[in-house]
Amino acid sequence: MESCPSVKNILLLDSEGSRVAVKYYSDDWPNKSAKEAFEKTVFTKTQKANARAEVEIAVFENHIVVYKFVQDLHFFVTGAEDENELMLATVLQGFFDAVGLLLRGNVDKKEALENLDLILLSLDEIVDGGIILETDANVIAGKVASHSIDLDAPLSEQTISQALATAREHLTRSLLN
């Protein structure tokens, strides 16, 4: 057994199996076609699963894959066959929740692509070269947001959806208080 737990890849695919963002940490998939073949298998074999409430799990090509879906986004985390399944699920949940926080609850493909920088930065904060760096969604989102959201940016430069999201957040906050 790998004595240090490790993540082999993190995939974020859309509802057709195309990449939104992916990150590979192991050389089990040496080239683009091997990666795409793996993504295709994983996507098609999990497509019908209901992984919206709970993290689901499956084994593909001697790898453990945990996955969770929301709207038209499919989140996957892959580890070695003998990896602790719960550890992988924790990584997935951390990524999933961090993206949720960063996209302020509007988690879908459009929003994800518009904020791709945030997604890529959270991937960078979760795993470093296969080693788990952080799994707490609040910490991950905090690290990404603190240096990405430019508070001084004029409203006109924000995209409409961002503006809407900001407005919605303000509204919720005022309602809650």
**What are the angstrom distances between the C-alpha of 24 and each of 33, 79, 101, 139, 158?**
13, 11, 23, 22, 31
One DSSP character per residue, 91-107 reads HHHHHHHHHHHHTTT--
Query: Residue 63's beta-bridge partner residues?
Result: 60, 80
Q: Which of 34, 86, 164, 171 binds other proteins (CB under 8 A)?
A: 86
**Cα separation, 154 vs 134, whole angstroms:** 32
Residue of 135, 140, 141, 162 interacting with other proteins (CB under 8 A): 135
Nearer to other proteins by Cβ, of 37 and 171: the residue is 37
- Parallel, antiparallel, or unpaired: how do β-strands 56-60 and 131-132 relate? unpaired
The nearest distance, CB 76 to other proteins, in angstroms, is: 13
CA distances from 134 to 17, 60, 80, 128, 142 (A): 27, 25, 19, 9, 12
**Piece of the chain touching other proteins by CB under 8 A; list 79-87, 94-102, 164-172:** 79-87
Cβ proximity to other proteins, 35 vs 173, nearer residue = 35
Confirm or reject binding of residue 70 to other proteins (CB under 8 A): no
Residue 128 interacts with other proteins (CB under 8 A): yes or no: yes
Q: Which is nearer to other proteins, 50 or 177 (CB)?
A: 50
Q: Which two tokens stand for residue 119?
A: 């997604």
Q: How far is the CB of 174 from other proteins (least distance, A)?
A: 27
Torsion sign across C-alpha atoms 44, 8, 137, 124: negative
Q: Report the interface residues with other proteins, using CB under 8 A.
A: 1, 3-5, 19, 21-22, 32, 35-36, 45, 49-50, 54-59, 66, 84-87, 89-90, 109-110, 113-114, 116-117, 120-121, 124, 128-129, 131-135, 143, 146-150, 153, 157
